[in-house]
Structure 1
Amino acid sequence: MSAKRPVAVVFIHGLARKPAPEQLLELWQWGLSRGNPMPSVFAPPNEGIDLATEGVPHVLNYYADVFYGVEYETDISSYMEGCVDLELQAEGLDRVEEDLPLPAPKTPREAAFLEGFQAAITANLTVDDAVPTASPLDCSSDHEIARFIPSRVREAMIKKAAMEAYYFLFNKEYVRPTDGKRFNVREELRSRLLRDLRCLQEKAEKIVIVSHSMGTMIAYDVIRNCPDCPPVDTLITLGSPLGIREVQQELLAVGSESVDFPATTLRSWVNIYDPFDPICGAGPRFAKDYRPVDGKVVQDIRESNWGKWRHTITHYLAGTQLRAKLAEALEL
């Protein structure tokens, strides 16, 4: 048996339909490894991190097929800043598929969750059906014209985010429209992440999780609420909805009155946010929400995700602060 590597990485993707797993992993690798991306936002030098070159084992924890089947997204322009005008369309966030089973709350608690969750995201968006006159990459000092969201896009995005969060947090049975296959969503997504963590535990001395969007809920839930979760050295959350009160209430550990730092399993938690990101903007900072435990506290870092759609994973992976924190965790 070969010697363990010092560290391994698990990527966890975010909401909506995605490219095939292999292609999505390549896009994450590209986003992280390219040198000096978007120099008008991140001043050079901003060297990338090539995990393969560094000998760091890494996997993509993939779950989009649970909701959307294997009819993968084929338009990857949302990941390329040269095609910023297509970002929302390419991520499938400009529409709701007709056969997508939207939430049907069965209890007052479920109804309250959906109402509060959707209200939190809605409050962070500015709706404008007119095309903005400025370029999304206009050379203003902060590139902040992000809140242009057409109303139809806003509604589609909110419905998809609410749907995925609801089925996961309430462990609802989800019947996949493409083939009728049934999943108890929280159980399924937990088992997939635990599988990947155990696999990497055999390959490396420590594990780093880099999670995005809805994937951050899965990461926190498994680390905090699954007693058999392997130790995780560093959790990095990007554009996360974990600051939304309704989400926190459904992630409480048994017997706890508030969410906290999962210190038993996790050493370090870095949360990177753009306040104009529509998914995390309602509650972008976590340090005051997640109670410190054993002196461990969430480190909140603001970093730009530029453009009209401020939730793109490859933009987060381009950030100098994200790269510095990941390099530190990887001991590079």
Structure 2
Amino acid sequence: MSATIVFVHGRGQEGKDPVKLERNWLAGLAAGLARAGEPPIDGVRSVFPFYGDLLYRITAELARRGEEVDLESLPLHPDLPDDTTAVENEMLTEMVAATGRVDEERLSDLLSAKAVRRTLEILARRTRLDQEIIKAHLRDVAVYLTQARDPVLAAVKAAIPDTVPIVLVSHSLGTVVARDLLSDQRLRERTRLWVTAGSPLGLDSVQRNLLTKGTVNPGIPWLTCWDVNDVVALGHPLRPTWKEPLEEIEVENSDAPHSIERYLGHARVARVIGAAALRS
């Protein structure tokens, strides 16, 4: 029996058409299978749980309730709750440290008042992502972990078909959502493969706030892929902390290091997904 592929998207999808988004993911996967010399998986069902608008509404409401403060001072997004901005700042510190080019003792100075922009500049210079994209990523991961987890998980679970085996393919913030999904033993038991692409799961601040806290490997076949220029995936490789079972593939996504289409278009990544989906 072939599996159903469950695509779990990342941040920044609000206002977009989920049908078109799913089509793009499938096109990326099809391109990767073709590069690998593997047959297409036209007969395999896929679903695309969409929570982009939901996350956006929750974030906007949090901001609406916030009080104005000096925008030149910490926190990074001062209109969000304290627990959310605390996670943001922890992630930012760890992402700079992960570049390996900043003295650990200077990190607290980098996050002092009026210096956050300089910290973002460091990340932007050493990766290929714009500062505003980095800020938005930090915000949305922190909002999910502290304020939006329950409604987002409910929306995603509602779209996953019951009883059938699944291949869970996740990207960016979606990898955090997927790890929380896999805390459910019933879902975990019918997951043939979990794929994480461009994932922030290497950051301690993310790990501490997961539904199953820490680096607890879910114990199912797991493939993670990352580009060294993908700022979201700066915590890779994951195997030293997450242990086995875990297969890791470093890819080169050229001028779009965080692109899910590029990740899925990689021959080795697509081959593993195709084999798991088609297995009887």
Q: Verify: 1:311 aligned to 2:258, yes or no.
A: yes
> In structure 1, how many angstroms separate the alpha carbons of the residues matched to 2:222 and 2:250?
14
Give the CA deviation at 1:277. Answer: 0.7
Give the CA deviation at 1:47. Answer: 3.9
Out of 4, 8, 14, which is 2:4 matched to? 8
Q: Which residue of 1 aligns with 2:247?
A: 299
Out of 276, 284, 298, which is 2:229 matched to? 276
Q: Verify: 1:240 aligned to 2:199, yes or no.
A: yes
User: Residue by residue, what CA displacement relative to the aligned partner does 1:53-80 show, whole Å, maximum 9, x if unpaired?
Assistant: 2x111111211111336xxxxxxxxxxx
User: Residue by residue, what CA displacement relative to the aligned partner does 1:11-64 show, whole Å, maximum 9, x if unpaired?
Assistant: 111121353111101111111113788xxxxxxx5346643x2x1111112111
> In structure 2, how many angstroms separate the alpha carbons of the residues matched to 1:147 and 1:189?
29
> In structure 2, how many angstroms separate the alpha carbons of the residues matched to 1:158 and 1:102?
16
Decide whether the 8 Å contact of 1:15 with 1:214 is kept in 2: yes
Q: Which residue of 1 aligns with 2:210?
A: 251
> In structure 2, how many angstroms separate the alpha carbons of the residues matched to 1:50 and 1:103?
47
Q: Which residue of 2 aligns with 1:286?
A: 238
Q: Which residue of 2 aligns with 1:79?
A: none
2:250 corresponds to which letter in structure 1?
R
Give the CA deviation at 1:260. Answer: 1.1
User: Residue by residue, what CA displacement relative to the aligned partner does 1:231-275 show, whole Å, maximum 9, x if unpaired?
Assistant: 21210000100001100011162xx6x421113xxx211111111
- Of the structure 1 ranges 10-19 and 117-126, higher mean CA displacement relative to structure 2 is found in 117-126
> In structure 2, how many angstroms separate the alpha carbons of the residues matched to 1:315 and 1:189?
25
Structure 1 residue runs of 5 or longer lacking an equivalent are: 38-44, 70-100, 129-145, 173-184
C-alpha RMSD over aligned residues: 2.6
> In structure 2, how many angstroms separate the alpha carbons of the residues matched to 1:116 and 1:245?
8
Which structure ranks higher in relative contact order (CA pairs < 8 Å, sequence separation ≥ 6)? 2
The 3-state SS of whatever aligns with 1:326 is helix
Q: Which residue of 1 aligns with 2:93?
A: 119
Q: Verify: 1:33 aligned to 2:30, yes or no.
A: yes
Give the CA deviation at 1:287. Answer: 1.3
Decide whether the 8 Å contact of 1:242 with 1:248 is kept in 2: yes
> In structure 1, how many angstroms separate the alpha carbons of the residues matched to 2:204 and 2:224?
16
Q: Which residue of 2 aligns with 1:59?
A: 47
Out of 193, 199, 202, which is 2:156 matched to? 193
Decide whether the 8 Å contact of 2:8 with 2:168 is kept in 1: yes
* Residues 54-203 of structure 1 aligned to structure 2 (within 5 Å): 55-68=43-56, 104-107=80-83, 110-122=84-96, 124=99, 126-128=123-125, 147-149=127-129, 153-154=130-131, 156-170=132-146, 172=147, 185-197=148-160, 199=161, 201-202=162-163
1:303 corresponds to which letter in structure 2?
V
Give the CA deviation at 1:148. Answer: 4.3
Q: Which residue of 2 aligns with 1:77?
A: none
Q: Which residue of 2 aligns with 1:180?
A: none
1:12 corresponds to which letter in structure 2?
V
Decide whether the 8 Å contact of 1:61 with 1:193 is kept in 2: yes
Give the CA deviation at 1:276. Answer: 1.2
Number of residue pairs matched?
Answer: 235
2:215 corresponds to which letter in structure 1?
V
Q: Verify: 1:229 aligned to 2:187, yes or no.
A: yes
The 3-state SS of whatever aligns with 1:61 is coil
Give the CA deviation at 1:164. Answer: 1.1
Q: Give the TM-score of the pair, scaled to structure 2.
A: 0.74
Q: Residues 159 and 126 (structure 1 numbering): CA distance in 2 closer, same or farther, change over 3 Å?
A: closer
Structure ranking higher in helix proportion: 2
Q: Residues 147 and 165 (structure 1 numbering): CA distance in 2 closer, same or farther, change over 3 Å?
A: closer
Structure 2 residue runs of 5 or longer lacking an equivalent are: 58-76, 100-121
User: Residue by residue, what CA displacement relative to the aligned partner does 1:191-217 show, whole Å, maximum 9, x if unpaired?
Assistant: 1222223x1x34x3x210010000000
> In structure 1, how many angstroms separate the alpha carbons of the residues matched to 2:29 and 2:158?
24
Q: Which residue of 1 aligns with 2:36?
A: 46
1:60 corresponds to which letter in structure 2?
F
The 3-state SS of whatever aligns with 1:6 is coil
